[in-house]
Structure formats: structure tokens, C-alpha cells
Amino acid sequence: MPSSKTPKRIDSPKINSDLWMLTFGDLVMLLLTFFVLLLSMKSMDKKDLRELFPNPSLWGGPLKYSENGLTGNTTDFYGDNKSSILVENKDALKQIFTMMKEIQTSLPEKDVVNRFEKSILIEDDPKGVVISFQTEQLFEPGEATINPSKIDFLTAAGELLKKTSNNILIMGHASSIQPQKAALKSSWDLSLYRALHVLYYLTANFEMLENRLAVGGFGDKKPKFPVTEVENQKTNDRIEFILMKATE
């Protein structure tokens, strides 16, 4: 005769309905950590980057500094924009000179670079970095046409400028005293035409510069030294390359 006993019911363990919150909490913490990491990378101090990497473009890669930190153009990897440097101060320009002298293979080329470096004045300016030299390095007194025997000087300038990525303003300056036989009597005309001839040579021989150059002339209105001193007239007769600061 079958037993009349009812089988005992075994209660299953009670499941905690709040356990899902542990996994969700872990996920939220991971996402928060990820976004904090992204924020810290975005706000890296550019000054700290400069201390770690004084001039990244000299490595031969595409990196450069911008307001967003360390950035660059990948075309450098393919040789389309080799080692172009955004020059922000005169120290960066001096590094380019060092690089140029290291890659020159022949003694005459090194001599030209050395002579060019010794004949120019490099200054930091609110507009950018200014390279200036006396016009006697390229022109005869009162003349606006470049002396062919002095063209190596301008070639060295082109080799330097093509290694930068700045926009460049070529400014001519003339002293208030010019030779009686000068073809151009106006200091305005002389300063402008000299700057134009420099631009024509650079754009004809350094194609990569033509979209970055502009030109102007101040005549004798922006002397570097007091015009009351006769010896200063020669120094005020000059050409300037202004490597413009990057715009926002």
C-alpha cells in the first residue's frame, strides 16, 4: 500500500535581487577612470612637453608644437614636408643652423652657411622671429638688383627658410642717404624693390616657399639705429625676414 507521506519541499536559496548593482558599479567606475585619463591627456602642459622634447621636428618625424600640445603632419613620413619646423624663438632657429652644418658634405657649402650665420642678426619679436642683414651682403650701394657674385648668401637663406613652416614677411629698409648715382632716388622704392628681388629669387629657386612669402618696404621710416650718426646709415640699410608666429 503506497505511503501517504507528503514529500518534503526543499527551499531553494534566496537570490539577492541587488547583486546586479555591483557589476553596474564596477562598469561606472571603469568608465569614470577612462574619461579622467582622457581629460588628463588632453590638458597636458605644453611647457612640460617642451622640457621633455626640446625640438621634436629635428628627429626627422612629423611632430611639432601647437596650442593643442604636441602635434604634427604625417606627410613628413613620406618626404613631402621633411623636417619643417615652426620657429617660435631664436633658439629654435639656431638649432636649424646646427642641423644644416651637420648635413653639409663639402667645405664650400659649410663656408657659405657659416658666413651667412655670422652676417645676420636674429632677434625675438612680438610678431615672431626676425632675421636681419645689411643689404651690402646682396646689393651694391643704391642698387635694387642682386649682385650675381653674392647669390650664395641668398641661397643659404633659402636653405634655412625652407626648413621652417612659418609664414615669412620680407621687409626692405633703406637708409636716408643714398649715392647720387642711385637708379632709385626714393628710399621707399629702393627698400621695396630690393625686397621684391629677394622674393623673386626665393620663389624661383625654392618652390616650397612661394605660398608662405609676403613682401613690403619701409623706406627709411623704421631705422634700427639713430640716423644722426653717419655710421648707422649703413646698418639701417637692411633686409629682414620675419618668421611670423602661428595664428590661432
Query: What one-character-per-residue DSSP string does 1-19 give?
Result: ----PPPPPPPPPPP-TTT
User: pLDDT grade, residue 212 (50/70/90)?
Assistant: very high
> Between 128 and 44, whose confidence is greater?
128
Q: Determine the pLDDT at residue 17.
A: 65
- pTM here? 0.64
Q: Determine the pLDDT at residue 186.
A: 84
Q: Determine the pLDDT at residue 116.
A: 87
> Does the pLDDT of residue 188 top 50, yes or no?
yes
Q: Determine the pLDDT at residue 104.
A: 61
Going by C-alpha positions, the residue among 217, 126, 135, 237 that lies closest to residue 176 is 237
What is the Cα Rg of the chain in Å? Answer: 32
DSSP line for 147-195: PGGGHHHHHHHHHHHTTB-S-EEEEEE--S---TT-S---HHHHHHHHH
CATH of 85-244, one of 3.30.1330.60, 3.30.1180.20, 3.40.50.10490, 3.30.300.130: 3.30.1330.60
Predicted confidence (pLDDT) per residue in 62-96, tens digit? 444 444 333 333 333 333 445 678 888 888 888 88
Q: Determine the pLDDT at residue 201.
A: 95
Predicted confidence (pLDDT) per residue in 24-65, tens digit? 677 778 777 877 776 665 554 545 545 544 544 444 444 444
Q: What residue spans define the domains of the chain?
A: 45-83, 85-244
Rounded to an integer, what distance in angstroms lies between the CA atom of residue 244 and that of residue 132?
Answer: 14
Going by C-alpha positions, the residue among 185, 179, 246, 187 that lies closest to residue 221 is 187
| Residues near 101 by beta carbon (within 8 Å), at least 6 away in sequence | 110, 113, 114
Q: How many CA atoms lie within 13 A of 48 on its CB side?
A: 5
If you average pLDDT over every residue of the chain, what do you get? 76
